[in-house]
């Protein structure tokens, strides 16, 4: 009935984002949002990796609280982001139970 409105909501559902926040102690948190899946990673991978590498020695956590969906490709992306840090163990926070299990199986 409203094809334009339906198309807009479908497009919005596939959007994903990356944001680097600097904390008061100088450390950084890489915040992800939206659907982190094989489709989104076509455009998100390079941006996420370059952002993580720009904060490599200050990266403390990856905040996934605003991630609405994460498939196996998304889990691999999170692992890759974690491995790009030289600051030690980078925690992935905010994943739901199933997504966290998916990530744990791949580490």
Has residue 10 got a pLDDT over 70?
no
Question: pTM (2 decimals)?
Answer: 0.76
Residues ≥6 apart with Cβ < 8 Å to 51: 18, 20, 30
Largest CA distance in the chain: 53
Bridge-based pairing of strands 16-22 and 28-36 is antiparallel
Strand locations in 37-102 (E) = 59-70, 91-93
pLDDT digits (tens, 9 = 90+) for 29-86: 999 999 999 999 988 999 999 998 888 889 999 999 999 888 889 989 998 998 887 7
What does the pLDDT read at residue 64?
92
Instruction: Give the Å distances, CA to CA, from 34 to 63, 88, 103, 107.
Output: 12, 26, 17, 22
């Amino acid at each position: 009935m409203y094809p334009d409105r339906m198309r807009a909501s479908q497009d919005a559902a596939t959007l994903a984002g990356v944001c680097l926040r600097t904390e008061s102690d100088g450390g950084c948190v890489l915040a992800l949002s939206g659907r982190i899946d094989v489709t989104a990673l076509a455009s998100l991978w390079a941006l996420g990796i370059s952002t993580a590498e720009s904060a490599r020695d200050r990266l403390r956590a990856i905040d996934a609280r605003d991630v609405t969906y994460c498939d196996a490709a998304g889990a691999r992306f999170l692992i890759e982001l974690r491995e790009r840090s030289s600051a030690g163990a980078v925690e992935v926070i905010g994943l739901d139970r199933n997504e966290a299990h998916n990530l744990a199986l791949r580490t």
